[in-house]
Chain A
């Protein structure tokens, strides 16, 4: 139970003009767990993960990765620290094919002078690697790796985005509302992906509105309210109704009843 958090945020604050989106919020993610972050609209969920991934810069507060304090200025910084994020907007280039999207921003170069002098990218190598990554996650419905992403269904696109995160995430994978735009069958696929990530020992932060899904996959649930962390509970200790009550402020949880340390 004395595990150290792999990713920790202390007192994160972020405001947009006069709107305070994050008001001194904390977060701890422990190795090998799925931490769900829930909260009403405007509770600061998306802003928090944007700060954690480097897409936004927090006004105040600290981010600690693996015991080291970091300061992220750009999305690249988060990635360099081993944090991969699947954004709600998916962040895939629709006209590019699956392999190009998987390696977008970190293309493989050809070996030898073709790569170092002429800067040629290794298309066939990337295609091969992309196939392996997709297969490793058990996404069977994608057959042609050279398909443009825009020809895929919503679930398949999501799978591509998750596969990219899984392929490059070294320490943490953050998923922002991964099932919000998906149908039932596709949502199942994504939940399975999350479970397979956890089985590989990869810590995951899952932002979601969908309570049944959260209770299905999460080890711990962090409830955000008005830009602050209201409580951290587990699916065993509290019911969905409790969580909704905490979200709306109808219920508070005493510190000693919270799940502030790893439960795995």
Chain B
């Protein structure tokens, strides 16, 4: 025993002598959201030098409104990426859900008066469609055992096609139900003036963060992404966890669709086509590993805000749109490099 203790002391001493980069690595390993938070703070400070309007409550309110939709989709996407999966169909599910809600409320215009159904039926139906979309993805991943990338690439096109079939490619121009526009209202919070959609997105993050951190289900989501065989042998019903993750994610995409309707005040088949890549970008920049099992949900919120801050800050600094894309691209590569560097340290 004394020998063991001696060895341990030696190891501890060795750890004390670890270089600064090793210490940084260990710190980032423990708190994966730290690097993205630092990027956010540093970027905000730099942008504030270029334009005095950048670091103002009204500008940040604007940024938050711009990232509310992507942020909400990224919340669901994070769950899936934590299980080492990916969902390319998230945007398509969101658009399909929003079209379902709008179409059901408005009815189909044709001969005579369009007959819509009540909002208290149409709205849950839209959410159900989102969950159902997720369930289809989950079924194909767990039962048919296809890779999530392929599954969701397929369903992405399927849901898009369904949406276009439903609308015949047109934007319904009838006035929207007031309930569906709820998340477009403005509220004042001190100097900030944001939409209820922003607050709703924050609430989604709170709920998911609680569930991930404080319930068995949350632990199991991490365990499944970390090592699926280990999780199975540890007695976790792996398929049930995966299925529930895809369905909960589908629900968040449908809720994101509600934010979309509030923001653009119509349900358009054309909004949200690039939501999938934007959401994945937010998750990755937020420090969640594409290999699963590592990351936090709040990281994705920060990731979404970083993308918004970069777009907004570069615009205010008078930088060309093309260079903004370049900056986001470099940011993604930087984020994934950091993730790889952290993982290598612990092999």
Contacts and interface: CB of A to CB of B under 8 A. Distances in A.
Interface of A: 55, 74-76, 79, 85, 87, 89-96, 100-101, 104-107, 109, 118-121, 123, 140-141, 143, 148, 150-151
Contact of A93 (B29, B215, B230): B230
B223 interface: yes
Contacts of A75: 232-235
Nearest to A107: B216
B6 to A, nearest CB: 11
Interface string B206-227: 0000000011110110110011
Contact of B346 (A76, A93, A123, A151): A151
B235 A90 contact: no
Contact of A105 (B227, B234, B293): B234
B215 A120 contact: yes
Contact of A119 (B7, B215, B223): B215
B215 A141 contact: no
B233 A96 contact: no
User: How many of chain B's residues touch chain A, expressed as a range?
Assistant: 20 to 34
B214 A118 contact: yes
Contacts, number: 85
B161 to A, nearest CB: 38
A157 to B, nearest CB: 11
Residue of A74, A107, A123 with most partner-chain B CB within 10 A: A107
Given A91-B229, A91-B234, A96-B222, 12 more contacts: A76-B237, A91-B233, A92-B234, A93-B227, A93-B231, A95-B222, A95-B226, A104-B219, A104-B231, A104-B236, A120-B214, A141-B7
A61 to B, nearest CB: 22
Contacts of B233: 55, 75, 85, 87, 89, 91
A150 to B, nearest CB: 5
Interface string B62-73: 000000000000
Contacts of B220: 104-105
A126 to B, nearest CB: 10
A105 B236 contact: yes
A35 to B, nearest CB: 21
A101 B231 CA distance: 10
A94 B235 contact: no
A150 B8 CA distance: 17
18 contacts: A75-B232, A75-B233, A76-B235, A79-B235, A92-B227, A93-B231, A93-B234, A94-B293, A95-B222, A96-B223, A96-B226, A104-B236, A105-B231, A118-B214, A140-B1, A141-B7, A141-B8, A150-B346
- What are the 4 A-B residue pairs with the smallest beta carbon separation, nearest first? A105-B235, A91-B233, A93-B226, A107-B216
Contact of B219 (A74, A85, A121, A140): A121
By secondary structure, the A interface counts as loop
B223 A121 contact: no
B294 interface: yes
B4 A140 contact: yes
Contacts of B214: 118-121, 123
Contacts of B219: 96, 100, 104, 107, 121
B229 A89 contact: yes
Contacts of B1: 140
Nearest to A53: B233
Residue of A95, A120, A121, A151 with most partner-chain B CB within 10 A: A95
A142 to B, nearest CB: 10
Contacts of B215: 118-121
B230 A89 contact: yes
A55 B234 CA distance: 10
A119 B29 CA distance: 28
Nearest to A120: B214
Contacts of A85: 233
A223 to B, nearest CB: 26
A141 B4 contact: yes
Residue of A94, A109, A123, A148 with most partner-chain B CB within 10 A: A94
Contact of B227 (A55, A94, A121, A140): A94
Contacts of B236: 104-105
Contacts of A143: 8
B208 to A, nearest CB: 14
A205 B265 CA distance: 66
B2 to A, nearest CB: 10
Contact of B235 (A89, A106, A150): A106
A119 B220 CA distance: 14
B52 to A, nearest CB: 43
Contacts of B5: 140
